[in-house]
Structure 1
Amino acid sequence: MRYLFEGYELDSSRRELYRDASVVDLAPQAFDLLDYLIRNRERVVGKDELITAIWKGRCVSDAALTTRLNAARSAIGDSGETQRLIKTLPRRGYRFVGTVQQAHRAPTVAVTDSQSAAAKPDLPLPDKPSLAVLPFTSLSSDPEQEYFADGMVEDIITGLSRSKSLFVIARQSTFTYRGKAIDIRQVGRELGVRYVLEGSVRKSGDRIRISGQLIEATTGAHLWADRFDSQLNDIFDLQDQVTSSVINALFPQLERAEIERAKRKPTENLQAYDYYLRALWSFYQFTREQNVEALRLIRLAFELDSGLAAAYALGAYCYLQRKIFGWTVNVDQDMTDTRWLATRAIELDKDDPTVLVRAGQAIAVVLYEIEDGVALVARAHELNPNLAVARITIGWEHIRRGDIEGALEQFHGGGRLSPMDPFLFLMQTGIAFAHFLADQYEDGSSWAKLAVLDRPNYLNAQFILAACHAMSGRVAEAQAIGARLAKARPALRVSTLASKLARVYKPEHLEKITRACRVMDLPP
């Protein structure tokens, strides 16, 4: 492997360092140290790890490590004062921070400037999920299908590019691979991406089938595959439908893949983004203990990178999770922390839909600043109409205004956009509540049961189920659930609940909720 940076080339197979066409003299251990830092440049390398890698665990003094480090810096025109390429992070370790390009073909002689220009070095991977969408293959001789496939790929690229948490290669680059027999791993190296999406289009009579698969380019492993079948009535409507489906299927898969990648790293070598990914995994466990762990990891993330907006937004989201699951211990402290985290996230990035929706929902639910929170979520929805989780807040806002049909449209729309969404239980609860307010208690019960089955510890879904039973005459079932709710939340009182909800719901809706609570036999 060859590493190119600032006019230097480090050839790990030949164990040589070049500056232009000349070999730079470098002692073996200093070379090993430089090579190790460059190969692990995406993270901070601790002192103990470096000693183990270079000296194979032998006991060496700090002075010996400093001597080799200074020699490596001197060989590449760096120093301990400037730290232009090798940075020391006090009490944490060392990191190579220069821009590096990789090339697999080893030269037969020292590389000259012209030879370096002719080589095709690998591009480094970005510090966030990176994706290339290749041209879809048309399995039909109909030229119209090729235009359709191209347009769909362009729409998928545009849709994915709306998320600032993704690094998406532009169409002009990916379409250079059209019609070529390619190795996905080579595509990943040449475009500098971790994931590649490829697919095909097949037409048969008046039906069309779109197939897609997501591949981890670094390993060639298949992470996700799906197909979409439809009638070919309006090709443009179908294009929009398939594009939306692919985008919303991809986002959870990419997120899961990144979380799994972070989990495979040794915990002592994690950097800010990897801490964020681990926090996201903990958040999605939906337990009190993992909520605490998520907040711990989030603090580690923004201590390392104070500009990581996603970490602050996820932190605010953790306090929202505490609120809706009933895990709050100190209300005032949680509100203070939520306000700081949400405000900081928005200050850092006003245009990332995921940041906006998480901060906005936290502001609306934890701080009760509903108008401000909903405005942020609406902005997120404008930036990314495919963001299913935004539909939750928009749906509840319709309920707050008394627009039950509008609420159902939003909740159902979110479920269609992301049928495997980890927040599907919230959409199901919203649908159940909308049916409750519309006097459709059996439908409400059915949807509430789905939410309870999905997330048994989400007590709001159990409350809606009990309310539907109460208003439909199934009093014994309603009271049984009410007793469980009162035991789980000893502070729950009809009067307290009514006082809180009065700030949110219309008087007639509040009156119906209160009646249901009395039938459930909740404490007054």
Structure 2
Amino acid sequence: MAGVIIAVAAVAYFVGRRESSASASAIQSIAVLPFIDDSSDVDAEYINDKIAESLINSLSKLPQLRVVPRSVVASYKGKDIDPRKVGQELNVRAVVTGRMSRRGDIISIQADLIDLQNVAQLWGQTYDHKVSDVLLVQDDISRDIFENLRLKLNVEEKKQLEAYRFYLKGRNAWNKRTDDGLKQAIEFFQQAINIDPNYAQAYAGLADCYNMLVVYGITQPKDGFPKAKEAATKALEIDEKLAEAHASMAFIKFRWDWDRVETEQEFQEAIKLKPTYAPAHQWYSSFLVGVERFDEAIAEAKRTAELEPLSFVASSHLGWIYYLSGQTDKSIDQCRKILEIDPTSFPARRYLGLAYEQKGMYTEAINEFQTGVKLSGSPLMLALLGHAYAASGKKAEAQQVLSDLEQLQSQRYVSPYTVAAIYAGLGNQDEAFKWLEKAVDERDIWLMNLKVDPVFAKLHSNRRFGDLLAQVRLRP
């Protein structure tokens, strides 16, 4: 928990008010002591670490300030400590102390900045934020302190901090995985780039946004992936050691280029550079399951959930990997747990519906997909409902969904892969292969699941299925 308010500490460097007295000199060294958790929340340590990561990144832009690393300060966790003694041990001028509590989805942080030389509290404030907006805590804390203390930053420092704030806002919006959220994230990342044209992380953020616009059917692959590739390439040109950019490029290599060798190289490089970067593990698990390396895929999906314990995207993804790996019961259990906490999680409903369908529980599957359609309005969810109707023998309802999807094509991108699934459920293999060929032409992202997707199991014995696998390079 030591890192949660490092941004508060960062400002200490600027607290010096250039007064004539020596006691008012600028603070150039600081330590953030472990915060006390008043709620005993099991997720508190994760929340603190998540905030700390972004705050430390912000501090790195202020080289004049020496900040004691988290790994050192963590040794004080759980101890009854005297701030003055810690200051002497760590040879720092100031320390930050504080408390954190949680009420439902709101986290409350009280932070105090103490000048050890003068034994004086320089600043204290309480901040309340939603857990889902955890990345914005650092931004609000640092911004408010700068304003309240009237800090004087030089031009370059102002630019760096402003760009970083836009980057944090971009990541926060991207994490929501909604149409509006992704488009807003693009604006934030672009604003960061406008301030700092060499901001590699912002370019990686742009790449991730364009990738997700395709995933969620907001943009066609031909429109989204080239933009994503351009942004990821730019990020790597600026910083070839940026894990986020390698993960973005790996996603593109897998879903767009169909290059299995380079895909794995990029994912492994991303994880090597930043083992705690959850999206790299998540997307790598999708690659692994697509090439039938099920045990490795499940291990990577579990690692994702461990790294992001508060993320329903990460936890529902594990349910998806269980499903594609043939572990249907585990998929059902995983998705049910999520829906008990958040009934509005349409990814969890998607994967739960698929798992129910695989077990022949068609009534339950149809109910999940119907709820998912209401929650998301997604053509993907509608297509899954159509397949469930078809598989359960409700051919009229399945045909109606096909008609509805045809009308939707003028408004939203409709994945031909998902239309093929409905025809496969109806037993019309000729139409199923016709739409799968269309999916190949459009480089539909879901084609990378073709080899393991249970909805196409009845097509495996058809020679054309093997030809399709060869076209998308899913055959060794």
Q: By the TM > 0.5 criterion, same fold?
A: yes
Distance in 2, Cα, partners of 1:197 & 1:381 = 33
Distance in 1, Cα, partners of 2:88 & 2:72 = 13
Partner of 1:24: none
Task: Check conservation: 2:354, 2:365, Cα contact below 8 A.
Answer: yes
Distance in 1, Cα, partners of 2:345 & 2:291 = 24
Number of residue equivalences = 336
Partner of 1:473: 360
CA RMSD of aligned residues (A): 5.1
Give 1:313 deviation, angstroms: 0.8
Distance in 1, Cα, partners of 2:179 & 2:162 = 25
Residue 169 (structure 1) aligned with residue 57 (structure 2): no
| Residues 81-120 of structure 1 mapped to structure 2, 5 A cutoff | 103-104=16-17, 106-107=19-20, 120=25
| Residues 41-440 of structure 1 mapped to structure 2, 5 A cutoff | 103-104=16-17, 106-107=19-20, 120-123=25-28, 132=31, 167=60, 169-170=67-68, 181-182=83-84, 215=111, 217=113, 219-221=123-125, 255-261=135-141, 271-328=162-219, 330-365=220-255, 368-369=258-259, 371-420=261-310, 422=311, 424-429=312-317, 431-440=318-327
Partner of 1:514: 456
Give 1:427 deviation, angstroms: 4.0
Give 1:314 deviation, angstroms: 0.7
Task: Check conservation: 2:322, 2:330, Cα contact below 8 A.
Answer: yes
Task: Check conservation: 2:35, 2:97, Cα contact below 8 A.
Answer: no
Give 1:416 deviation, angstroms: 2.3
Give 1:294 deviation, angstroms: 1.6
After superposition, the Cα gap between the structure-2 partners of 1:475 and 1:295, relative to the gap in structure 1 and judged at 3 Å, is same
Task: Check conservation: 1:317, 1:362, Cα contact below 8 A.
Answer: no
TM-score when scaled to structure 2? Answer: 0.55
Give 1:392 deviation, angstroms: 0.7
Amino acid at match of 1:473: G
Distance in 1, Cα, partners of 2:85 & 2:216 = 47
Partner of 2:332: 445
Partner of 1:464: 351
Is the helix fraction higher in 1 or 2? 2
Give 1:102 deviation, angstroms: 5.6
Distance in 2, Cα, partners of 1:133 & 1:516 = 60
Higher relative contact order structure (alpha carbons within 8 Å, sequence separation ≥ 6): 2
Distance in 2, Cα, partners of 1:321 & 1:186 = 49
State the SS of the aligned residue for 1:182. Answer: helix
Task: Check conservation: 2:215, 2:445, Cα contact below 8 A.
Answer: no
Distance in 2, Cα, partners of 1:272 & 1:254 = 18
Task: Check conservation: 1:346, 1:359, Cα contact below 8 A.
Answer: no
Amino acid at match of 1:513: V
Of 431, 445, 448, which residue of structure 2 is paired with 1:504? 448
After superposition, the Cα gap between the structure-2 partners of 1:461 and 1:186, relative to the gap in structure 1 and judged at 3 Å, is same
After superposition, the Cα gap between the structure-2 partners of 1:466 and 1:342, relative to the gap in structure 1 and judged at 3 Å, is same
Task: Check conservation: 1:356, 1:376, Cα contact below 8 A.
Answer: yes
Distance in 2, Cα, partners of 1:222 & 1:183 = 25
Amino acid at match of 1:346: L
Amino acid at match of 1:306: P
Task: Check conservation: 1:339, 1:367, Cα contact below 8 A.
Answer: no
Is the strand fraction higher in 1 or 2? 1
Give 1:359 deviation, angstroms: 4.5
Distance in 2, Cα, partners of 1:360 & 1:337 = 15
State the SS of the aligned residue for 2:218. Answer: coil
Amino acid at match of 1:311: A
Percent sequence identity is: 16
Q: Deviations over 1:429-471 (max 9, x none)?
A: 3x32333244432322232345567777876544432321222
In our comparison, the structure showing a higher alpha carbon Rg is: 1
Give 1:410 deviation, angstroms: 1.8
Could you tell me which runs of 5 or more consecutive residues in structure 1 were left unpaired when the two chains were aligned: 1-41, 43-99, 109-114, 125-130, 138-155, 200-212, 225-250, 518-524
Distance in 1, Cα, partners of 2:363 & 2:70 = 64
Distance in 1, Cα, partners of 2:192 & 2:292 = 41
